Homo-oligomer: A and B are copies of this chain.
């Protein structure tokens, strides 16, 4: 009997966010303690006195990292940081993690020790406890999935859907660095593959390479908010690039945004290396990803609370949804930002 033809839709047709939307559109929450499900940096569980915040993120060899230039200790560190960054993005404090690792037998016990030394280092630095997990075999490659659990106060938690017209858009730190660090590592890898006797030239690019290999989460900002009694109206961490994260906030808050090119913070090293690679620094900053900075909105009445805080940059305003998501370029032109990141080449 001939097998019936089955419909086959390629996963790439939907993209990551489309796929998650598609698969979870019928997901409903039935337990009273489930306060917030899929669709923010982290899920929220109601524990009466305060909220428990839960986030899961996976790093996959060959997709998220290349062991040719990623030391395992850095990888363990980064795997923790990218997860607790999601907890901070809720304006909460990470407290515990569980680590699920699948690895092939090409890894030795010593290499796993390296990975765990990075995991433990990040736990120490951010006062997080490793409370459990699973270590299992994989036929090929290394998979690390971490779940981070944090605590937050009900009245202080920040979601993606709280931005409103007139709010001010802020961003921490500098952008594009992690992406350009990756470009540098990829370039040196190609040089090495072509001629294994060549020594990598990365010492002078320490800042950018470290942004890629050993990022930090912005705990200092969450503490500064607390100290200055500031509660952002919405917040998200920048893992996929500022443009993409701004779209998440706008979509979920049902608003638009207007940002100034001059307000996009770019580190001088990133600026220089972008030009070196023939790339536009602003595009790298908007679409690069993996910077793990915080993008947030504040009520205009809170402007004085952020104005004098170091490392926070005011980028623009939240506008009506009908006005779209736009960038005011330094040259004066207005560009529509697309979900995939702003296409600077249309200038």
Shortest A87–chain B CB gap in Å is 12
Asked whether A31 lies within 8 Å of B108 as measured between CB atoms, the reply is no
Q: How far is the CB of A294 from chain B (nearest CB, A)?
A: 19
Query: Least Cβ distance of A42 to chain B in Å?
Result: 7
Chain B residues whose CB sits within 8 angstroms of the CB of A95 once the complex forms = 31, 33-34, 45
**Chain B's nearest CB lies how many Å from the CB of A98?**
4
**Chain B residues within 8 Å of A26, by CB:** 120
Q: Are B56 and A129 in contact (CB under 8 A)?
A: no
Is A60 an interface position by the 8 A CB rule? Answer: yes
Q: Which residue in chain B gives the minimum CB-CB distance to A39?
A: B132
In the bound complex, residues from chain B placing their C-beta under 8 Å from that of A55 are: 98, 132
The secondary-structure label for the interface of chain A is: mixed
Q: Which of A3-11, A251-259, A271-279 contacts B (4 or more CB under 8 A)?
A: A3-11
Within 8 A of B (CB), among A1-58: 6-14, 16, 19-20, 22-24, 26-31, 33-34, 36-38, 42-43, 45, 47-49, 52, 54-58
Bound Cα distance from A85 to B272, whole angstroms:
54
The complex places the Cα of A14 from the Cα of B110 at a distance, in Å, of 12
| Given known A-B contacts A98-B54, A138-B63, A129 and B19 have beta carbons under 8 A apart | no
The quantity of this chain's copies bound in the complex is 2
| Closest chain B CB from A126 CB (angstroms) | 11
Q: How far is the CA of A33 from the CA of B135 in the complex (A)?
A: 24
User: A12-B105, A23-B116, A102-B60 in contact; A37/B110 too (CB < 8 A)?
Assistant: no
CA–CA, A135 and B62, complex, Å = 15
Number of interface residues of A (CB under 8 A): 79
Within 8 A of B (CB), among A100-149: 100, 102-103, 105, 107-110, 112-113, 116, 120, 127-141, 143, 145, 147, 149
Q: A10-B105, A14-B109, A105-B12 are in contact. Are A63 and B132 (CB under 8 A)?
A: no
- Write the nearest CB–CB distance from A142 to chain B, whole angstroms: 11
A143 touches B143 (CB 8 A): yes
Q: Does A287 have its Cβ within 8 Å of any Cβ on chain B?
A: no
On chain B, the residues within 8 Å of A36 by CB distance are 131
Is A283 on the interface with B (CB-CB < 8 A)?
no
A6 to B100, CA, bound (A): 26
* Minimum CB distance partner of A143 in chain B: B143
Interface residues of A in 56-108 (CB under 8 A from B): 56-58, 60-64, 95-96, 98-100, 102-103, 105, 107-108
Check if A172 is an interface residue, CB within 8 A of chain B. no
Tell me whether A174 is interfacial, beta carbon within 8 Å: no
Q: Mark A164-190, 1 if CB is under 8 A from B, else 0.
A: 000000000000000000000000000
Chain B residues lying within 8 Å of A149, measured Cβ to Cβ, are 45, 52, 54
